[in-house]
């Protein structure tokens, strides 16, 4: 298998290429890699044959045969040049079409070499005939090692060589010499037929061995790639878990510490209960909100979401969201506008409301002046829900990271919350297949959108 593992073209596998295409590509490139040295050997043999037979056979027949072999050899050199110019490293239909188009050149070359027996068989001295037949036997054996990588060309070559030799031998034994052909000559014919069959079977078996080797190499590569990806995912999961625990502990410590201070203050000075009680309520709410977010995120991580696909009325969805978040907007003195649109989409009504609600809550928390717009629009033929705000905006370098757990933009005006809302949005988006996107400019506000499916899609 050394000649397979040493092949350079096509060893780097594209992730888009299938197993069969990759194996086929490697076999063809291996075949073509050894085609040119085989042609160089053929040129040397052609010159040697002409020199050996020149004085012992008809010169016209010899040079006519040599010219035919030379022409076919030049044609095969051109095929190799075309391959080297534009097809090294290529796979798929283009490579298969190239091989199908030029397979006949190997068959033609083999037939020309087999036709050499027409020049010397039973015409030249026995020693010259022996050398000529040794050349043909060697070429057939050479084809097993060099041409078996690509089975169509191997079969064409061996069959072309065998058929032409058998035709010449049968013609000379039965037509030129009649039925009086000697037993030795007939035995030679049988031996060559057996050798031809052995070569053909050997080449097929070697081809299947090479194919099995490449399939195993591909499978091992896939296994290594899969294990590498899983190892990377496991390391990332450990890193996320550590960051998750550290951030949760940090965010939990602040309100709990505040509760401890307020409780101590209340014990020491109970007459200030009116001032201390609201602070305790706010701290308790912060702890409760953090636990709710943690439980939501942990539930999404540990249990695969079951999406209950239904037809969702968009106008009703936006009205429910307006009723839920309008009081919060009024409390913050923000304008909250709704631009509902008639129509229906295919989604899970509960999860979709939860996803859009998290985006809406995030926009309201990070907007201090102006307002928030919740609208349904169609862009590029795709229906989507958009949330516009006039908040502090998100710089480009933060726009990917904000969907990670506990990530908060280090800017004034964005410190509220725990950095879990958009992480939950990311999980819900992935589960329902509703892509979430955003566009934002720092200091100018942001727009988030959720792409939806039409009913029946």
> Does residue 327 belong to any structural domain of this protein?
yes
Same domain assignment for residues 298 and 314 = no
Same domain assignment for residues 285 and 383 = no
The CATH number assigned to the domain holding 264 equals 1.10.287
Range of the domain at 361: 310-451
Beta strand residue intervals within 77-195, DSSP E: none
Same domain assignment for residues 288 and 373 = no
Q: Which pLDDT does position 111 carry in this prediction?
A: 93
- Quickly state the pLDDT bin for 291 (edges 50, 70, 90): low
> Does residue 375 belong to any structural domain of this protein?
yes
Same domain assignment for residues 178 and 207 = yes
Same domain assignment for residues 33 and 164 = yes
How far CA 316 is from CA of 331, 364, 457, in Å, comes to: 24, 21, 21
Report the C-alpha gap between 384 and 378 in whole angstroms.
6
> Does residue 457 belong to any structural domain of this protein?
no
| Per-residue pLDDT tens over the stretch 234-276 | 887 677 666 656 555 555 555 666 667 777 777 777 777 777 7
- The DSSP result for 389-414, as a single string, is E-SS---GGGTTGGGSTT---SSTT-
Q: Is the pTM of this model over 0.75?
A: no
Examine the pLDDT at 172 and tell me if it is beyond 80: no
Same domain assignment for residues 56 and 91 = yes
The CATH number assigned to the domain holding 388 equals 3.30.565.10
Report the C-alpha gap between 33 and 84 in whole angstroms.
9
Same domain assignment for residues 341 and 398 = yes
| Per-residue pLDDT tens over the stretch 301-320 | 545 567 778 888 888 888 88
Q: Which pLDDT does position 332 carry in this prediction?
A: 86
| CB hemisphere CA count around 252 (13 angstroms) | 12
Distant-in-sequence, close-in-space partners of 3: CB < 8 Å, separation ≥ 6: 30, 33, 34, 145
- Quickly state the pLDDT bin for 65 (edges 50, 70, 90): very high
Is residue 28 within 8 A of residue 89, CB to CB? The reply is no
Q: What is the pLDDT of the chain when averaged over all its residues?
A: 79
Same domain assignment for residues 209 and 339 = no
Same domain assignment for residues 176 and 262 = no
> Does residue 80 belong to any structural domain of this protein?
yes
Q: Which pLDDT does position 7 carry in this prediction?
A: 38
Higher pLDDT, 289 or 57: 57
Same domain assignment for residues 277 and 324 = no
Same domain assignment for residues 142 and 189 = yes
> Does residue 417 belong to any structural domain of this protein?
yes
Domain final residue pick, 173, 201, 229: 229
Same domain assignment for residues 421 and 440 = yes
Mean pLDDT confidence for 436-453: 84
What is the C-alpha R_g of the chain? Answer: 40
Count of structural domains within the chain: 3
Q: Which helix (H) or strand (E) holds 310?
A: strand 310-313
| Per-residue pLDDT tens over the stretch 5-33 | 333 344 445 556 788 888 888 888 888 88
What are the two backbone dihedrals, phi and then psi, of residue 385, each rounded to the nearest 5 degrees? -95, 130
């Amino acid at each position: 298998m050394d000649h397979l593992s040493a092949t350079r073209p096509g060893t780097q596998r594209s992730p888009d290429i299938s197993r069969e295409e990759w194996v086929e590509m490697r076999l063809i490139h291996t075949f073509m890699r050894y085609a040119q040295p085989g042609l160089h050997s053929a040129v040397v043999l052609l010159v040697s044959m002409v020199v050996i037979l020149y004085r012992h056979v008809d010169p016209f027949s010899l040079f006519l045969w040599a010219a035919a072999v030379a022409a076919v050899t030049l044609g095969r050199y051109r095929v190799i040049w075309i391959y080297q110019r534009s097809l090294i490293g290529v796979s798929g239909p283009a490579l298969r079409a190239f091989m199908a188009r030029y397979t006949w050149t190997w068959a033609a070359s083999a037939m020309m070499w087999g036709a050499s027996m027409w020049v010397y068989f039973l015409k030249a001295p026995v020693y010259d005939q022996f050398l000529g037949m040794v050349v043909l036997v060697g070429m057939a054996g050479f084809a097993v090692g060099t041409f078996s990588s690509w089975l169509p060309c191997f079969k064409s070559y061996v069959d072309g060589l065998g058929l032409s030799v058998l035709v010449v031998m049968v013609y000379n034994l039965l037509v030129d010499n009649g039925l009086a052909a000697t037993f030795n000559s007939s035995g030679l014919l049988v031996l060559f037929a057996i050798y031809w069959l052995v070569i053909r079977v050997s080449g097929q078996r070697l081809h299947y061995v090479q194919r099995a080797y490449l399939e195993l190499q591909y499978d091992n590569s896939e296994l290594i790639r899969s294990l590498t990806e899983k190892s990377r995912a496991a390391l990332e999961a450990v890193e996320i878990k550590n960051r998750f625990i550290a951030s949760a502990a940090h965010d939990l410590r602040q309100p709990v510490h505040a509760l401890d201070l307020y409780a101590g203050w209340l014990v020491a000075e109970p007459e200030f209960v009116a001032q201390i009680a609201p602070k305790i309520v706010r701290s308790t709410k912060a702890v409760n909100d953090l636990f709710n977010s943690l439980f939501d995120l942990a539930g999404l991580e540990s249990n695969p979401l079951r999406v209950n696909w239904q037809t969702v009325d968009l106008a009703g969805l936006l009205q429910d969201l307006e009723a839920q978040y309008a009081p919060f907007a009024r409390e913050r003195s923000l304008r909250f506008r709704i631009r509902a649109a008639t129509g229906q989409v295919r989604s899970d009504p509960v999860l979709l409301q939860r996803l859009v609600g998290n985006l809406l809550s995030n926009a309201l928390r990070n907007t201090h002046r102006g307002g928030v717009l919740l609208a349904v629009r169609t862009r590029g033929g795709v229906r989507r829900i958009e949330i516009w705000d006039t908040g502090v905006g998100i710089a480009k370098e933060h726009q990917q990271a904000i969907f990670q757990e506990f990530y908060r933009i280090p800017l004034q005006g964005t410190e509220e919350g725990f950095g879990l809302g958009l992480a939950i949005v990311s999980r819900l988006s992935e589960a329902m297949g509703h892509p979430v996107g955003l566009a934002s400019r720092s200091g100018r506000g942001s727009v988030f959108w959720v792409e939806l499916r039409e009913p029946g899609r």
